[in-house]
Structure formats: structure tokens, C-alpha cells
A and B are shown apart, each in its own frame.
Chain A
Amino acid sequence: MLVIEGLQVEVGGRMLLKRIDLEIKPGETHILFGPNGSGKTSLLMAIMGFPNYMVRGGHIYFMGREITGLPIHERARLGLGMSFQRPPTMHGLKTRQIVELCARGKVDAASLARRINMEHLLEREVNAGLSGGEIKRSELLQLMAQDPDLLLFDEPESGVDLENIALVGKTVAWMLQKDVEPAQGEPPPLRESRRQRTKMGLIITHTGHILNYLEADRGHVLFDGQLCCLGNPREILGCIGRFGYEECLRCLTATG
């Protein structure tokens, strides 16, 4: 379980996250909406522990342990993983090698890559000269190899071409154990498959396309560094589509 209490985060002298409370239970997937610059990526980076996202108040707990001050790699080893929106290019390091590093050796990079149509890019340097969509798939491939318990996705579908969008959506769903195929015979009852599900997800999306491929449990809107809405993700998406984020501002002023 991920528990965030009263989190305040400062980046480059500006308080970007004001007081964030968030709880993701095992098996749950949450969607994070919000206009550009509202602090969505900052929230993910702070959860992952990037040092320039300085926690000025509040706590982050993961699986019952406080991780607020832990370095990035210790969080990763506890089971946090992230798919980056704009990852750096790693010269001299092949995608195959980073996949093996992610999995600490115990993985067949080629068969994982085949799942996400990345096989032909395994010998390329990580992110070097890749298109937007290829970068997203490279991120998913690394995350698959890492196999974390909490998966943070920063706009996994942006920049992905039409041909691959379904592939990306289905892969994210698969990583979050949303479409566990029954071993044989009848699929297990819904309640059963929910109980078996342990992976937690937090997905940033602008377009909501990802919701065509997976069911999410909750949606949040981050507006000006504050979570201002909690509800059914499709409902929130529909509302943003109709009224824009202006509505969130109205909400915030009304409740705040």
C-alpha cells in the first residue's frame, strides 16, 4: 500500500505540491488528471525520490514503511518503479543491457521485448534517436523487466502512434494484472481476480486514452499543486472534456 500524508514538495524554490493526501491499496489503479504545470510529474518524481524534488513537509509510506527520506535506488528495490515521460539518452548503454540491469539478470530480454514490439531496438543505445512512441515502449519494457509492485506511469500513451496505442494500453493493463488470463476453463469470479491482484498503479494521462484499455479504480485531479477531486476516473474525464479544468478551480474555491 502507498500512503501519502500532507506532502509538500519544493522544486527550484517554488512550492509545487501543497498538501497532498493519497492512498493506493494493493491491486488498485489510480488515474491522475490535471492541466500542464499542475504538479503531476512532480508528484511522481517525489514518490520515486528524485533529490531535486525536495520534501518540505508530510510523509510517504510504502508497504508500511516510511520512505520519505530514502534514496531512489532503495525505493526501486522496495518495489517502486516509474515510466518516465522524457527519459535521458544513455550513450554507450544498449536497451538490452538496461533491461538486464532492471531485472538484475533474471530475464529473457528478447521475449519481453517481443511483447512490446521492441525487439528490433534492443541493440540500440537507450533512447538514442527513438521516436516519442518508441521511448514510451522502451520505458514499459524496462518497467516490465523491473517488475515493481507500485507502477508510476507518466503519460504512457502520449506520442504513441495509432498502430501501437492498443499495444501500449494492453501492456499497461497486463503489468497492472488487469487482464489476467484464466489458466484454463472459466474465468475466476470478479471478486476472486480482484483479490489476486496486488500491483498498484498511478497513471498520469492527458487524453484519457489509456482508459480504453483498463479499468481504473479512482481518478484524481491535481490543480495548482493540490488534489481537488476524487472520483470515478471516467466521470472525471467526461467532466474535464465538457467543462475543462475551470470547473476544478470552481470546485477548489467552493470547498477550500
Chain B
Amino acid sequence: MLDRDGLRARALAALDKPAKLGADLDLNRYEKASPPRPMLSASELRSLPTADRQRMLLAGVDLNGRDRCGTYLLVDTSVLHCSSQQEGVEVTPLTGALESLAWLGDYYWKLVEVDADKYTASAELDLHDGFLIRALPGSRSIHPMQACLYLDREGLQQNVHNIVIAEEGSELHVISGCTTSTRLRGGLHVGVTEFFVKKGAKLTFTMIHNWTEDMAVRPRSAARVEESGLFVSNYVCLKPVRSLQGYPTACLAGPGSVARFYSILAGSPVSDIDLGGRVVLEEPGCRAEIVSRAITNGGRIMARGQLIGKATGIKAHLECRGLIMGGGAMLAVPELEGHADGVEMSHEAAVGKIAQEEINYLMARGLDEEEAVSTIVRGFLKVEVPGLHPLLQAELDRAVTATQEKSM
């Protein structure tokens, strides 16, 4: 049963509770409401202003729906569109689902604590909407479901809560693009996402963030993976953002389950980014990998990673690489915790600059220094994710290339 009153009471008590990490934001600075917008049909989506559609496209969301199995679009506080073309994959606005689906009580706020900090509390008290995406047992989607969380209203705090469920034996791919209109200078995006990967299911979630220089972002997400399940989370944030803090956590609760976190970050001079990834391996035979690549050119990036091994025969690796190009600070904090005999965990962390030897090597092949540097940076940011849908890998690569074209 869903106890909204109980959740609200806990949230109220935590409304002033700062997060453990990241700058403490004053939530009173942000508006919590915006005028409602009407729903749009699929064809009306295609007639949204080109500039907006272009921004969404850069975040991996194609409103033509090409190569996608469904579309969810939230602009400011209103759901504009929500539809699935794929049998076996459901997408529903979360607020509606909370009213009509009693079983959602078993999922809502079950992995993320509602009173974890003021951001989770605020997301409960002033929830705008979000999506519930569910792949039915045994269903397999070829194309990804796309979801866009769009900010247009200046100074708005957008509160989103998403739930993604891959039922037993299903395969689901989701691409989530969070971005703003070109007019917008600043606002706050609070995004709670809870992932449930059931027995033998496979879920890949690719999140592309394209923010603006005055945006603050507080993602709060967690995943629970059952026996032999696979959870892959990709996070790309290459455009300037003022303040970003998140520490997504996956709990591998069934034997033989796997989690992979990949993040690709670029900080601008104004950025203060603190992003982590944590996997708790609770059962024998679980595996995890956390890979982070970050570049700063003046801002501060903290890349955290934590692996907690609690059972025999688990295997996990953490890789964290940072480049400093033109000032700024790059901090890498890898942590390993083993709590059982026979755990196998490792990490490698490196912070540095581009090796002159590599630049010279490419120059000897005829590239000038600038071409050599951008080739190396593109290579640094290029992460090949095992098991990722080729379409999503292409989106990842495109996001990286697009930034390169603008900044180099």
C-alpha cells in the first residue's frame, strides 16, 4: 500500500536537511510551479519549435520517434506526451500511475529514501511528474524508449520522480535526455529515479544531460538487480552546468547479477561537479564495473566510486580517469570495501594531462597540435559499453562528438 501521508510527514521533517555531498542549495530561490501546458499528439510534437526540438535531439531525444519504441516528454511541470508503440513496454505519467496503480506502493520511494535530504523531500512535497516505464515479463524491445525532461521556465525547480521496472526475463533500453531551452539561464532539476531489474532481466539506461551555465542538478537514483539481472547505466554530461551532485547506487541483490556504471563528464570553468557511482555486491557471482572519464577546463570535478563486496566470488572493478586542460581541479576518490573471503575487487585512478608523447606521435602523422589534442580528447571520452544497444552507443558517441565540435 502506498502511504503518501507517511511519506509526506517524513519529507516535511527533512525539508531543511542538507545533502551529505555537494553545495547546499537554497530551495527558496526557486519557483515550484509553472502554468500547465496541454498534452500534444505525436504529430503535434513534430511541430514544436525547431530550436526546442534541436535541443532535445542533442540530448538524444528525437521527436520524430525514429528508432524509438515510445516517447515521454515533460516540459517544466507538465507532461506533454506519453506513448508507447511497443507491445510489452508500458509508459505512464507517474502522478497518474500513483493514483491508479495500487501495487506502485511496492516501488515508490523503496530504493531512495524520501528523507535522504532536502532534495528528495522537496521532490515528494512538490512532485511535478515523471515516468513509470515497465517492460512486461519476457518482453524484448529492440528500440529504446525515450524520455525527455525539458526546462523552459526561468528559475523553476523541476521535481521529477521516475520508476523503471524490467520484469522477469525482459529486455529494456531507455534513453533519457534532460535539457533546457536556449532561452533559459538557470533553474534546478531534481530527478529521483528508481530502477528495478527482476530475475534474468536486462535494463540499459542512457542519460544525456545538456544544461546551461546557471543550472543546478541533483539526481537521486538507485537500482536493485535480482538474480542474473543486468543493469547498465550511462551518464553523459558534457555541457556547462553550475552545480551537479549525485551518487547513484546499485544493489546487486541476486546471485550472478551485474551492474555497470559509465560516466563521461566535462566541466566548464563555472562547474562544480560531484558525481559518484556505488555498487553493493550482496550475492555470490555478482559482478560490477564503474568507469568514469572526466575533463575539466577550469571547474572542479569530484569523481567518486565505491564498490562494496559482501559475498564470495564477486568480481568488481573501478576505473576513474581525469584530465585537466587549462586549469581547474580534478579529484578522484575510489573506495573498495571487501566483507568476505574470496572477493576480487580492484581500482585504478589517474588524474593528469594529455601526454606530450601522444601529441607528438599524431603530429608525426601530419596532424597539427590542435587536431592532435582534440583527437586524443575524443578518444579519452570515448567509452565503449559492453552490452549497450548499438543505437545508444551511437547516441553516446554523437553526444561526445557534438561537444567536441563546439568546444575545439
A binding-site residues for B, Cβ under 8 Å: 48, 50-51, 71-73, 76-77, 81-82, 84, 87-88, 90-93, 98, 101-102, 104, 125, 142, 146
Contact = CB atoms under 8 A, between A and B. Distances in A.
Interface in B331-363: 355, 357-358, 360-363
B237 to A, nearest CB: 18
Given A92-B380, A92-B381, A92-B382, A101 B375 contact: yes
B297 to A, nearest CB: 18
Contacts of B362: 90, 98, 101
A72 B357 CA distance: 12
Contacts of B372: 73
B379 A84 contact: no
Contacts of B360: 50-51, 72
A93 B376 contact: yes
A90 B368 contact: no
Given A93-B375, A93-B379, A101-B375, A76 B358 contact: no
B404 to A, nearest CB: 12
B368 A73 contact: yes
B361 to A, nearest CB: 5
Given A48-B364, A73-B368, A92-B379, 5 more contacts: A72-B364, A73-B372, A76-B364, A77-B366, A81-B364
B389 interface: no
Interface in B157-186: none
B365 A102 contact: yes
Contacts of A90: 358, 361-362, 376, 379
Interface of A is mostly: mixed
B363 A71 contact: yes
A88 B358 contact: yes
Contacts of A50: 360
Nearest to B378: A92
11 contacts: A72-B360, A72-B363, A72-B364, A73-B372, A84-B361, A92-B376, A92-B378, A93-B375, A101-B362, A101-B366, A142-B365
Contact of A88 (B355, B367, B368, B369): B355
A48 to B, nearest CB: 6
A202 to B, nearest CB: 15
B302 to A, nearest CB: 23
A124 to B, nearest CB: 12
B365 A76 contact: yes
A84 B361 CA distance: 9
In the A-B complex, the 6 residue pairs with the smallest Cβ-Cβ separation, listed nearest first, are A92-B379, A72-B363, A76-B366, A92-B382, A73-B363, A93-B379
B361 A87 contact: yes
A73 B367 contact: yes
B379 A82 contact: no
Contacts of B368: 71, 73
Nearest to B293: A92
Nearest to B375: A93
Contacts of A71: 363, 368-369
B366 to A, nearest CB: 4
Contacts of A98: 362, 365
Contacts of B363: 71-73, 76
B292 to A, nearest CB: 14
Contacts of A77: 366
B231 to A, nearest CB: 24
A88 B360 CA distance: 10
A194 B381 CA distance: 48
A110 to B, nearest CB: 19
Nearest to B365: A102
